[in-house]
Amino acid sequence: MIIQSFWSKPFLSNSKDPNSRFKGGWLNEKYFYFSMALSCLKFKELYGDVNLYTDSKGEFIVNKTLGIPYSNFINCFDSLEHTNEKLWALPKLYTYSIQNKPFIHADTDVFIWEKFPEKLINAPIFCQNIEENFPIYSEALEEILTLFDWIPAELINSLYKHKKILAFNAGIIGGTDLDFFKKLLSRSKKFINKNDHFFNKIDVGIFNMIYEQQLGYAIANKKEINPKAFFDNIDSNFTPLVNFPLAAFHTKYIHAIGFAKKSIYACEQIEALLMYEFPEEYEKIKFNGTKNLLWKDYYEISETRKNYLFSIFKYVRENSLDVICDAKFRLNPTVKISEGNDSSKIDYVSPQTLQREQLNLEEWDAILFYFQESISINELSLELLLDNDIAAKHTKKALTEKLLSFVFDKCLLHEILLPDFANK
């Protein structure tokens, strides 16, 4: 069973705290709604029903105003009206705790293009990935350990046992051990209630991660359960999980985590993917949102930009990875290269702002020089491997993967590179 959650109070609270969830943390409200719609529709496509746990205001916006097609709306957050809106993870914990059969909870900024492995979702507890000593926890945890009157024993014991900070990322979370999720809510509520008088002295936004993800890992550890992770070796930048240029054809899971919500590139890709994969739903949601003034005017994808993106989306969905890696790419004719004694730059027109921008050709970006003539990823990979230093660091497969990501970033997001197959 797929479930998602939306607590409207932090979303609607006009907070300037960077770790709050005003506008869901997005550049503009419309991207929150487009993200929710794309996430809902992708999960429905693969799993059938998707239920949203929310409150009355949330259902009014999502269902009655926008018409995002969740299978069911469960209004269970109205009782949180007087809860501190900065505690945005608490409704998620409540949602987990009231499930009576194994479930998958996905954040509304998670998008998938294939089903999860059965061995993952049949685990007692599963998650997106394990976080080890991620910097964002350290400073907040130090304040909490110094200030708080009461800290769950599981958290202290985990720190003592492992000598490091361990947490799980709940971009997706679920499992068969329903008792765990009830325990997590109970211990988190006590953690909150015993210490809420200190909230003016800590970053409550990051505290959400500690009582949900770090404490959750510690409680699982006490139960002698190792949460099963969908991804291994994810660093604190989450780079593989926000690789929008490879979405659908090579990357089958995207999580627009943290900083991605503030990136016009990520936001544009979410809107474009929704527009391409679910055009009728996109038009309906955009019309309803605009008509009901749910967002202020913001960047709009032009018809020219849309046609360009769609031509790439179509190509990568219709061809194998081998064929894609044999396709030719070249520098956009509008790009200007200037070479200096100390550094080289390229000057290009941003497809989002239509203004000229500059990129320093340092380190990996210097590879753009190779695209002054049309060249494929496979051809470039073979040429680069003639360099002994590169060959010592990369296998053919690893280098091709890196080039694939680089080329589609510069092609899809920036139009610095153009594929021969695209409409441009």
Mean pLDDT of the 184-205 span: 95
Q: Which residue in this structure is represented by tokens 């936001």?
A: 267
How confident is the prediction for the chain on average, in pLDDT? 94
Tokens of 42: 């992708």
Tokens of 71: 């299978």
Task: Write phi, then psi, for 84 (nearest 5 degrees).
Answer: -55, 120
Residue 250 has pLDDT above 60, yes or no: yes
pLDDT of residue 201: 93
Mean pLDDT of the 227-255 span: 95
Residue 59 has pLDDT above 60, yes or no: yes
Helix/strand number for the chain, H first, E second: 17, 15
Please tell me what DSSP assigns to residue 66. Answer: I
Residue 20 has pLDDT above 70, yes or no: no
Mean pLDDT of the 360-368 span: 87
Residue 14 has pLDDT above 80, yes or no: no
Mean pLDDT of the 193-202 span: 95
How sure is the predictor about 337, in pLDDT bands with cuts at 50, 70 and 90? Answer: confident
Residue 232 has pLDDT above 70, yes or no: yes
Share of the chain above pLDDT 70, in %: 97
Q: What angle do CA 241, 350, 269 make, to 5 degrees?
A: 30
pLDDT of residue 18: 61
Mean pLDDT of the 276-298 span: 97
Q: Please report, for residues 93, 111, 167, the alpha-carbon distance to residue 177 in angstroms, rounded to integers and kept in the order given.
A: 14, 25, 18
Which 3 state secondary structure label does DSSP give 231?
strand
Please tell me what DSSP assigns to residue 345. Answer: E
Mean pLDDT of the 134-153 span: 93
Tokens of 162: 């492992």
Which 3 state secondary structure label does DSSP give 114?
coil
Tokens of 35: 């993200």
pLDDT of residue 390: 86
Q: How many CA atoms lie within 13 A of 313 on its CB side?
A: 18
Distance CA(42)–CA(114), nearest Å, equals: 9
Other CB atoms within 10 A of residue 8 CB: 21
* Distance separating the N- and C-terminal Cα atoms of the chain: 43
Distance CA(31)–CA(44), nearest Å, equals: 20
pLDDT of residue 424: 54
pLDDT of residue 422: 74
How sure is the predictor about 339, in pLDDT bands with cuts at 50, 70 and 90? Answer: confident
H or E element in which residue 358 lies: strand 356-360
Alpha helices in 151-231 (DSSP H): 153-162, 178-193, 204-209, 215-222
- Residue among 422, 377, 421, 382 nearest 403 (CA): 377
Digit-coded pLDDT (tens) for 88-111: 999 999 999 999 999 999 999 999
Digit-coded pLDDT (tens) for 367-420: 999 999 999 999 999 999 988 888 888 899 999 999 999 999 999 999 999 999
Distance CA(265)–CA(273), nearest Å, equals: 12
Dihedral sign for Cα atoms in the order 99, 231, 233, 161:
positive
Q: What angle do CA 259, 207, 176 make, to 5 degrees?
A: 90
pLDDT of residue 221: 96
What are the start-end ranges of the E strands in 124-176? 126-132, 166-175
pLDDT of residue 17: 66
Mean pLDDT of the 205-223 span: 96
- Residue among 126, 168, 121, 172 nearest 5 (CA): 172
Share of the chain above pLDDT 90, in %: 86
